[in-house]
Amino acid sequence: MNQQQGIVAWFVRNPVASNLLMMIILIAGFFTMSGLRTESFPAFPPEKVSISVSVSGGGIQDIEEGVVLKIEEALQEVQGIDSVRSTIKNGSASVVVTRIDGYDLTILKDDIDAEINAISNFPTAADNPVVEAAQRESDAIWIAVYGDADTKNLKLVAEDLRSELLDDDDIKQVDVSGEPTEEIGIAVSEQVLQRYGWTLADIAGQVKAQSVNQYAGELSSDEGEITVRGDFQSYYQSDFESIVVQANTDGALIRLGDVASVSDNFSEQMVVSRFNGDSAIMLKVVVTGDTSLTNAADAAKTVMTEYLKNNNVPANIHMDTMGDQSVFIGERLDTMVENGLIGMLLVVILLALFLHPMLALWVAVGIPIAFAGAMLAMGPLGLNLSLNELTTSGFLVALGILVDDAIVIAESVYSTRQQASREGKQGSNAIALTIQGAKKVAIPATFGVLTTVAAFYPLMFIDGRMGNIFGQQAMVVIAVLIFALVESKLILPAHLAHIKLETSQKRTYWSRVQSFFQNGLQKVIDDFYVPSIHWVIKHRGTSLVGSVVIFILVVGLIPAGQVRISFFPDIEPSVVMSSFEVQDSFGKGHTYEIIDKLEQSLIETNQEIKKKYQMSIDPVTAIYVNSSDNTSGSVTGELAEDSLRDFDADEVSSLWREKTGALEGITVLDFDGARKGPEAIRIELKAKQMSTLATASATLQQAMAEIEGVTDIHDNLKVHQPQLNIKIKPAAYGLGLTNTDIMQQVSTALYGSQAQRIQRGSDEVKVMVRYPAQERKYLSDIDNLMIHTADGAVIPFYVVAETVYADSVSQIDRLDRYRAASVIAGVNKQQISSGDVIRQLQADAIPRLLQTYPDLKIELKGEASEQSKSTSSLSQGLVVAVLIIYALLAIPLRSYTKPLVIMSIIPYGVLGSILGHWIVGINIGILSLFGTIALCGVVVNDSLVLVSKFTELQDEGMSTASAIVEAGKTRLRAILLTSLTTFAGLTPLLLDDSSQAQFLIPMAVSLGFGILFATFTTLYALPIILSFQDSVAVGFDLIKQRMGGRLAKG
């Protein structure tokens, strides 16, 4: 085919078309980028469907048998289910269904809905099941409404602000935390009840009968219609106090306020909510679907500012923000731009040292063009990705790789035109020479990029939640490479054709610098590389053995423990958080004490860190304390912006844990709650008996505690909880009392009788009738309860019943139709990896448990489960990538064996990756494996350039040894430049000491150090393999000739 024809030649001769294509990509990419949604870390795809059922007065075992088992049985008919987890508590049940990876959640939800609706034999006390599919959600920002103010005033301001937030088009969801539930409480003492002969149920019934708003009909006549209504509904404390509960015979009225204490306050359920020490109500702005996190956070801050400006907010009520993720993603985007510019500058400098400066500049221009094209691909009409920490890091990873193709093209054009100049063809057509130079390497350069794309492609389909998330990075890299390929073939040559590459007679400073490096490189080639490659080929056996020894030594770093494997990286959070649960027997007073202790120890941690790093600002900028029940709570501390601190969240959490010390009555204490991703250790125990689960869990936790580096060990069992069981005495039946009669009266006395539910503004307010709090504190209060019989007699509780202490189960968890317990723990990854912990447990503790409890089943979840899924698909992806790369090499080389020769260099790239982790001192993780697989394509790219030239020289009749040396000499500059620019593009990320970037560094290490090591092996090991391959081929030819000669003689 004529070298002056084809699409490359057409664009070189039509620079207007080339420039228009460039401008279209840049402009379209810019406008697409401005409309991309932003989020800090990509939200996990929704994968769960929940089924919730409330059962009035239902006991745990009754709900398990009457509700949960029926739901689990019905779900057996539904396809697409990975697991079913059920949680049963007094009065409620929750069943959470997790879909199989890739299964449509909407279809799953509809199928579950149909099966649940077909169940007709739920208990009569059970409400209708509520089936909901999870949504894709991310927290954008928290707004604290706080101060030394009355809770009701805080709530009024918070609700008003929430309404204004929801009025903004960029805010779709605002959740409220720390807001107590309003309640009308009517407390009537037993003394009053006995005086008037009432029961609590009588009071509740009277309230319900008197507090009504009832439509009575209409009066209709020729003149019109009049509605008749009686509006006696009570809404506030004074309304209820005026309700008539009895009229005496003398006409005197007894009103509720005369005999009861009526309060218009909040429910008795414990709620603690503090922001920086003051009472607070928190508003959380949540983004769902395709809503932009940055837009939502910015809108929330604007609304808050305007609200404070335009409303008369009390002086003792303040507002502040916490957990602003727009700041986090802003820092990440700033890092991308900064690292991108630095990387681009390094690439330009490297290219300009060895090529013409203008040629280097036009090669570097391909970077923004490729980035803009990738932005266009990320838009809603393409991949529909957000700008987040992983997608932006994809640009950084691609920074050095994307110019490889352009470098090969530019270097070939430069060499072709320089050669023409040296041969005295200065007048040659620059356009024709550019086309000739570009087309010389167009096929290997194109297939080189495609091999890199092939290496990244399987990474888009890694199984597991974390694998799916990290796959977004691969999508971005592929998009960048595809547009880089377009730019290098259709845009770059057109610009190179119009550059004057002839050497000027005038020597400038830069030309002298360039000559120094170019002459230096040529001297290295002539005086070092050529002699050394001659020696290597001459002693190819010794060289090959040496390379094998190096391979064994480097790989041996892993089993020797010099390089650890920690599959999932720790993603640096912007907050630290501790959550806890206490034993039911300790009560809410103890919960208050623990909250105060955690808050105070975090304050002390803040002071010590501030002093240690001599900071002018607080390291922990805000502290939020929250508890919504009597036995659990959490304390969250927001850290200073990453750019303002030299410590990470781990250091704060470790010191906080140390200062907190041991806490009494704790069943769960976790200091890693702010971490994203799966639990480091989560082991599911399944059995039929709760006793088996309890003892097995305790044994397993003890074994885990003996492993150094394992932290925050706990399970989710709620066994051995204190409970008072009521036993009915025979005397009760003689008085005509039933079990239900007694239990209802006890429940009314302690919990209360709901007289009404009234709608007051946006709140649904319960009206509860019960004993005063001081009459329901102690065991003696139960014994002194008065039980009312049907004939009006009043009998002390202790006459008809008694209480007995017993251990109870306050919650039952089930997993895939078995009762289950989850044993959960964190790990200090500087000491041990979660994989090492699991391996130790599998070697001893787990086999012993299975032997001791034959009916026990154990499943590994958390990181172990995710690692299993991701590793399996990574292995499959590697096989697919290798096969695709082989095919892409075989086509341009027109050979079955040469692709194998090229691919034999891949293991040496892996050695570079391992060495890089050892040098930098970091663990190998999933992103390291991503980088290693991606490295396959980059390494092959360099090897393909050398082997293509070797094949070309052989076809021209050159001997194997001479062709190897000449190919190395000719292509060394291109190979060296592609490797150095790849490393230079990754250098800003490798040197980024920000805590946010740390989890991305393993991938950069794999790629960066891998490509450097592979460059060395490409220039030395590949020639050895080519030499052996040629010898083998010659040997086979001789064998064929001899066999052919013998057959001819025969």
Measure the CA–CA gap between 705 and 93, rounded to whole angstroms: 32
Residue 503: predicted pLDDT? 55
DSSP-based three-state secondary structure for 606: helix
Long-range contacts of 157-164 (CB under 8 A, 24+ apart): 157/313, 157/314, 157/317, 158/281, 158/283, 159/761, 159/762, 160/307, 160/311, 161/283, 161/303, 161/304, 161/307, 161/319, 162/283, 164/303, 164/306, 164/307
643: left (phi over 0), alpha (psi -120 to 50) or beta: alpha
Q: What is the CA radius of gyration of the chain?
A: 37
Distance CA 959, CA 962 (A): 5
994: nearest Cα among 571, 623, 633, 607: 571
Distance CA(678)–CA(862), nearest Å, equals 5
Q: What sign for the dihedral angle of Cα 359, 362, 366, 367? A: positive
Model pLDDT, residue 117: 92
Cβ atoms 947, 1018 nearer than 8 A: no
Residues of the chain with CATH 3.30.2090.10: 184-264
pLDDT given at position 888: 87
**Contact 469/1000 with Cβ under 8 angstroms?**
no
Q: Which CATH architecture has domain 184-264?
A: 2-Layer Sandwich (3.30)
3-state secondary structure of 189: coil
The partner residues of 666 in beta bridges, in order of sequence, read 582
- CB crowding 1020-1036: b at 16 or more within 10 Å, else e: bbbbbbbbbbbeeeeee
Query: Largest Cα–Cα distance of the chain, in whole Å?
Result: 141
Exposed, middle or buried by CB within 10 Å (0-12, 13-18, 19+), for 548? exposed
Q: What is the C-alpha to C-alpha distance for residues 112 and 76, in angstroms, rounded to an integer?
A: 10
Kind plus residue range of the DSSP H or E element containing 53:
strand 48-54
Structure letter (DSSP) for residue 491: I
Answer positive or negative: Cα dihedral of 94, 100, 101, 107.
negative
Contact 93, 825 (CB under 8 A): no
Partner residues linked to 748 by β-bridges: none
Q: Is residue 681 within a helix (H) or strand (E), and if so which, with residue range? A: strand 681-687
| CA distance to 279, 716, 782, 902, per residue, from 315 (Å) | 14, 44, 46, 74
Using an 8 Å Cβ cutoff, are 640 and 621 in contact? yes
Query: Could you give the C-alpha distances from 571 to 574, 641, 648, 873, 996, in angstroms and in order?
Result: 10, 15, 11, 22, 7
pTM of the model: 0.78
The CATH number of 46-135 is: 3.30.70.1430
Chunked into runs of 10 residues, the chain (1050 residues) has average pLDDT values of 73 93 95 84 83 84 92 93 92 93 90 93 89 88 94 92 94 92 91 89 92 87 82 92 89 91 86 93 88 89 95 93 85 71 77 78 88 93 84 79 82 83 67 88 84 84 71 89 93 88 64 81 87 87 85 87 75 85 81 93 95 92 91 91 82 92 86 68 92 93 92 83 83 89 88 88 88 86 87 88 83 93 86 85 93 93 78 79 86 83 83 89 81 76 80 84 86 81 78 70 86 84 82 70 58
Instruction: Tell me if 876 sits within 8 A of 461, measured CB to CB.
Output: no
- Residue 565: count of CB within 10 angstroms of its CB: 16
The Cα 806–Cα 787 span in angstroms is 23
Distances (CA, A) of 387 to 19, 375, 988: 28, 9, 20
Taking alpha carbons only, the member of 27, 30, 9 closest to residue 18 is 9
Structure tokens that stand for 19 in this block? 């420039």
Are the C-beta atoms of 652 and 619 separated by less than 8 Å? yes
What 8-state DSSP symbol labels residue 570? -
- The answer to whether 800 and 731 have CB atoms below 8 angstroms apart is yes
H/E stretch holding 229 reads strand 224-231
What is the DSSP track for 1029-1048? HHHHHHHHHHHHHHHHHHHH
Q: Render 403-450 in DSSP notation, one character per residue.
A: THHHHHHHHHHHHHHHHHHHTT-TTS-HHHHHHHHHHHSHHHHHHHHH
How many whole angstroms from its chain centre is CA 952? 49
Residues of the chain with CATH 1.20.1640.10: 9-38+328-499+512-566+868-1039
Residues 699, 693: Cα–Cα separation, whole Å:
10
Cα separations (Å) of 793 from 298, 505, 750, 776? 67, 121, 21, 22
CA distances from 1035 to 893, 900, 1029, 1030, 1038 (A): 21, 18, 10, 8, 5
CB distance 808 to 802 below 8 Å: no
Tokens of 573: 């959070």
Token pair recorded at residue 534: 């001659």
Distance (Å) of CA 31 to CA 27, 137, 486: 6, 25, 20
Task: Tell me which DSSP letter residue 199 carries.
Answer: -
Looking at residue 705, its pLDDT comes to: 92
CB atoms within 10 A of CB 558: 15
* Amino acid code (one letter) for 726: I
The single residue listed with the structure tokens 């309700």 is 243
- What would be the CATH architecture of the domain defined by 9-38+328-499+512-566+868-1039? Up-down Bundle (1.20)
On whether the CB atoms of residues 137 and 59 are closer than 8 A, the answer is no
Q: Which two tokens stand for residue 1047?
A: 């057959």
- Report whether 690 contacts 812 (CB < 8 A): yes
The label of the residue with tokens 């029926």 reads 70
Q: Nearest 5°: phi and psi at 722?
A: -70, 140
Contact 692, 855 (CB under 8 A): yes
Contact at 8 Å (CB) between 858 and 846? yes
Asked if 293 and 37 touch (Cβ cutoff 8 Å), the reply is yes
